[in-house]
Every structure is written in C-alpha cells, then in structure tokens.
Copies of this chain bind each other. A is one copy, B any other.
Amino acid sequence: MKDVLYYAGADIGGTGVKLGLYEKSETGEALVYKWEIPTDRRDNGKSILNDVDDSIKKVCADKEIDYKMIAGLGIGVPGPVNEDGVVYECVNLGWKKVNVCSKYREISDIPVIMAGNDANISALGEMWKGGGKGASSLVMVTLGTGVGGGIIIDGRIHPGINGAAGEIGHITVNPDETAVCTCKSRGCLEQYSSATGIVRIARDIMNIPTDEEISAKTIIDRAKAGDALADKAVDIAMRYLGIALSNVACVTDPQVFVIGGGVSAAGEFLISKIEKYYNKYSMNTLKNKEFRIATLGNDAGFYGCIKLVMDNS
C-alpha cells in the first residue's frame, strides 16, 4: 500500500465549480487533476454540494484513486464564511445561512472539511503557488466585475469575526458619491477600480456614445496606446485603489500586495499607477511595498482550498 494522501479543493462560483485533486506522499507531491463542473443554482443551490461530491468520486474512480484516501476537502464559497464554516448569505448560489462544512459531512466521511470565502481562498492559493510565493503575509486584491480581497497573516487566512475581513471592495474611498454600490452603501472602491468601475469612469470623461459597448480591457488598451482621456480614466480608478491599499497597509502592514482578476492582465501598466498613488498617500514606514501580479488565474481558488485543508489535517 502506497503511503499517499489526497486533498481536494472545490471553489464554488456562481456559474461553475473549479476543482482540484492533489496528492502528497513522503517522496513528493503534485496536482493529480483539475476540472470544472457547472453550478446548479436551481432550488436555492441545494444540489451543489452533492454534485461536488459525486464529481470527486467520479474523478477518483477514473484515476483509480480510493476516495477513502482523501484526507481533506477545502470548499471556497462566494460570500462571507467564518472559521467554523458558517456561510451567512451567498446570493450567487441562492444559499441562506448554512454551515457548509456540517452540510458536507452529512454526505461524506472525508475526515477534514473546511470552508473559506472565495477571495480569501484565492489569496491563500496565490501565496502557496502563485504571485505571493515566498510571502507569509499578503493582501490579495481581485479586480474583476467587482473588487474582492483576501488577507493572509502568518501564512493563514484572516477571516474576521463574520468572515468579512478582506472585503476591500467595500472600503469607502469617496464618501460624497451619489451612486449606490451593490452593497447599498455609496463610494465603495468597487465602484471605481473594478472592470465595471473603470467603464463607468471612462463613460463619464471620454466621448463614448451611450449605445457603444465598451470593456475595461479596451479602455486600458487605449490608455496604453496613448489615449489621454482613457489614461485619465484608468488613472482615476488606480488612484482610488492606491489610496485604498495605503489604508489597508495602515491596518495590516503586509509584506506583499498581489493584484489579480481580469483587469490585472494589464500588468506593469496598472502596477505603476497603483504604486504611484499608494506611495503618495502612505506614511514612510509603509511606503515601497512590493506589488505583484497574480499568476494562477481561476486556479487560485482550488489551490487555496487544498492548502487550507493540508495546513489543518
């Protein structure tokens, strides 16, 4: 009998679940397989966990791995999760308050089951295998449709009392904003520095016909190509981000910032703008932090799930 243990990760999103299976023995470790299944949101997402488990069992059968050798499963959830696995609300999945770990234990005997918020989990994944390698204290910011964040302290996720630590997208950067954020407050970072926010700012200051669809990527590409107004739009968005991250540093003083999400594909162009404003608004002790681009893309979540249970098995 081989002395091998397996760890599974399931990063549950609104449209799909990204999964990974990882093996670890005394001689080494590696990702065995990664795959994806659709998220079934019907009936308040009640079959999601069963679908995940069925899918893991199927992959185990395909790979001739004994399901009983899975020592741990980590679950990423798109909403606040506390350290016990309590999800308060998950609008994207149709879930109300539920202990996702207890729920999974009803259908599986995997010895260690843990859950984390998707952004926190991604931060842990990037620390382990991605842009955050070598750092044990980092803040990850995900610039996508919204702005997500995850805080890693001493190599572990810092979830906060209600699982809402790292909700960087809802830092108030403009208290005088009149437009309402998805969180119902006003002036949140997410309203400016997300892909949606960049488009909103650009529509305000560029001459974009209202019937013309435009993406954050197009705006950033135009800015890179020298379009002054597009550059101004991106600059406004990154100024707010630089200020917000300077504020995050005042709270948690991390080793490294990791910037991920679709918008982060713009790379050094974005980083240099973020750094400019970060340093402008930071006190001396906090200036010149390292900013890195995330490298795992959509795999960050399941890697983080795996790391979470490996650290706690």
Contacts and interface: CB of A to CB of B under 8 A. Distances in A.
A306 interface: no
Given A172-B246, A243-B172, A165 B281 contact: no
A252 B172 contact: no
A184 interface: yes
Contacts of A283: 164, 167, 170, 183-185, 188
Contacts of A183: 283-284
Contacts of A255: 161
A251 interface: yes
Interface of A: 80, 88, 137, 149, 151, 153, 158-168, 170-172, 175, 183-188, 239, 243-244, 246-255, 280-286
29 contacts: A149-B250, A151-B251, A153-B153, A160-B252, A161-B253, A164-B249, A164-B253, A165-B252, A166-B251, A167-B283, A167-B285, A167-B286, A168-B251, A170-B250, A170-B282, A170-B286, A171-B247, A171-B251, A172-B243, A172-B247, A184-B284, A185-B280, A185-B281, A185-B283, A186-B281, A187-B281, A244-B247, A247-B247, A252-B252
Given A153-B153, A172-B243, A243-B175, A250 B164 contact: yes
Contacts of A151: 251-252
Number of copies of this protein chain within its complex: 2
Contacts of A153: 153, 158
Given A88-B285, A185-B283, A285-B88, A252 B253 contact: no
A167 B250 CA distance: 5
Contacts of A161: 137, 253-255
Contact of A252 (B163, B239, B251, B280): B251
A247 B282 CA distance: 15
Given A171-B247, A172-B243, 4 more contacts: A164-B283, A166-B253, A167-B283, A183-B284
A247 B31 CA distance: 38
Contact of A162 (B251, B281, B286): B286
A251 B282 contact: no
Contacts of A80: 285
Contacts of A162: 253, 285-286
Nearest to A79: B285
Contacts of A164: 249-250, 253, 283, 285-286
A281 B175 CA distance: 8
The 3 A-B pairs at the shortest CB distance, nearest first, are namely: A160-B253, A183-B283, A165-B253
A254 to B, nearest CB: 6
